[in-house]
């Protein structure tokens, strides 16, 4: 597959700054693919570069979920008919977007996908004007995400281990539900007392937790997982099942599919989109079906 005019956006700070050392490797792996490269210098720079990528056919994000999140938001500023496709070389800590797109973990294998893969359309979510490609979550999840941001720096952990240690900290120190009003698909709002509200396109978040194991990222619907408040023993007992995606039939868990949600609370509540922390009293979430074209592996014959 010919990529056409290609821009590669590299976040050197991804995975505790380890991506900086991988820049020569990335350039060597992409040696046979004509491209231009840009290295980000600050938070938000990847979004700026992607938005300015007029006339490109493909924009490749080199980094983790935060980098892809920025690049996606920059690409969504392009008119739909002129929007470049999104490619990914995963070098981050969580890499849940990699799982959603089916891109290999190994950098060399992911580079092969760029040269030999196919273009496929995926859904994009929008929350309060920002775009997300994998997940939104409010409540416990966002507290864990915030703690993981801290632990990423202080412990140098990554992946599932990073989010698991952050989760355990929150479970032991800040385990409480929150009252919300949720309106699904334009219907009247209903009151809930929840521990977690996760709205996803991909099967995993948090570096590999299978929170919505049946999610399909191109079906035009969000998969929603809502979990009732739990005691510490109840939460610890269910944790292994959540990691493995075996929690969906448990009594405190409520699974559903929707195309829009409005979540409101009388006070600001923590939330996250693609690992980026938010703190608002209202979240308006809408689905944009097939809004972004991504480069993914060819289906096996």
pLDDT at res. 1: 61
DSSP secondary structure code for residue 109 in this structure: H
CA 88 vs CA 69, 176, 198, 213: distances in Å: 11, 36, 24, 22
- What would the two tokens of residue 297 be? 């592996």
Rg (C-alpha) for the chain, rounded Å, is 19
206 vs 74: CA distance, rounded Å: 23
Q: Are residues 141 and 109 in the same domain?
A: no
Residue 95: pLDDT band with limits 50, 70, 90: confident
Q: Which of 116, 150, 173 is the last residue of a domain?
A: 116
pTM for this one? 0.92
Contact call for residues 272 and 141 (beta carbons, < 8 A): yes
Contact call for residues 3 and 33 (beta carbons, < 8 A): yes
Residue 1 domain-assigned (yes or no): no
Query: Domain residues for 183?
Result: 135-289
Query: How many distinct structural domains can be found in the chain?
Result: 2
Q: Are residues 146 and 259 in the same domain?
A: yes
Q: What share of the chain is helix, strand, coil (3-state, %, to 5)?
A: 30, 35, 35
pLDDT tens digits, residue range 227-250? Answer: 999 999 999 999 889 889 999 999
Q: Are residues 42 and 180 in the same domain?
A: no
CA 25 vs CA 89, 108, 111: distances in Å: 11, 9, 11
209 vs 161: CA distance, rounded Å: 11
Q: Are residues 238 and 145 in the same domain?
A: yes
For the ranges 9-13, 93-97, 118-122, 236-240, the lowest mean pLDDT is seen at: 93-97
51 vs 224: CA distance, rounded Å: 30
Q: Residue 220, SS3? A: coil
2 vs 111: CA distance, rounded Å: 13
Q: Are residues 177 and 244 in the same domain?
A: yes
pLDDT at res. 262: 98
| Residue 112 bridge partners (DSSP) | none
pLDDT at res. 143: 86
251 vs 249: CA distance, rounded Å: 6
Percent of the chain scoring above 90 in pLDDT = 78
Look up tokens 């952050």; give the residue.
166
Q: Are residues 11 and 87 in the same domain?
A: yes
Per DSSP bridges, beta strands 196-200 and 222-227 are: antiparallel
Residues 281-292, mean pLDDT to the nearest whole number: 98
Nearest to 49 by CA among 67, 35, 25, 30: 67
Q: Are residues 146 and 243 in the same domain?
A: yes
Helices 140-154 and 159-173, axial angle in degrees (round to 10): 120
Q: Are residues 203 and 247 in the same domain?
A: yes
pLDDT at res. 301: 64
26 vs 14: CA distance, rounded Å: 14
């Amino acid at each position: 597959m010919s990529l056409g005019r290609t821009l590669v956006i590299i976040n050197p700070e991804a995975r505790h700054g380890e991506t900086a050392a991988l820049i020569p490797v990335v350039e060597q792996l992409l040696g046979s693919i004509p491209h231009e490269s840009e290295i980000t210098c600050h938070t938000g720079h990847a979004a700026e570069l992607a938005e300015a990528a007029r006339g490109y056919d493909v924009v490749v994000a080199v980094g983790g979920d935060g980098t892809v999140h920025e690049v996606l938001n920059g690409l969504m500023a392009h008119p739909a008919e002129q929007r470049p496709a999104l490619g990914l070389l995963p070098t981050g800590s969580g890499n849940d977007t990699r799982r959603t797109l089916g891109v290999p973990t190994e950098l060399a294998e992911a580079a092969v996908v760029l040269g030999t893969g196919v273009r496929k359309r995926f859904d994009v979510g929008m929350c309060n004007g920002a775009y997300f490609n994998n997940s939104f979550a409010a409540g416990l999840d966002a507290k864990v995400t915030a703690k993981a941001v801290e632990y990423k720096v202080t412990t140098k952990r990554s992946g599932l281990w990073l989010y698991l240690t952050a989760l355990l900290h929150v479970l032991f120190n800040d385990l409480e539900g929150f009252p919300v009003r949720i309106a699904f698909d334009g219907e009247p709002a209903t009151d809930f007392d929840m521990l977690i509200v996760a709205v996803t396109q991909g099967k995993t978040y948090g570096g590999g937790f299978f929170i919505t194991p049946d999610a399909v990222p191109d079906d035009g619907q969000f998969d929603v997982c809502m979990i009732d408040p739990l005691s510490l023993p109840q939460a610890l007992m269910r944790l292994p099942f959540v990691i493995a995606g075996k929690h969906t039939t448990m009594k405190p868990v409520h699974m559903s599919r929707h195309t829009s949600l409005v979540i409101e609370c009388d006070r600001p509540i923590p939330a996250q989109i693609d690992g980026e922390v938010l703190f608002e009293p209202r979240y308006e979430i809408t689905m944009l079906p097939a809004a972004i074209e991504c480069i993914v592996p060819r289906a096996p014959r």
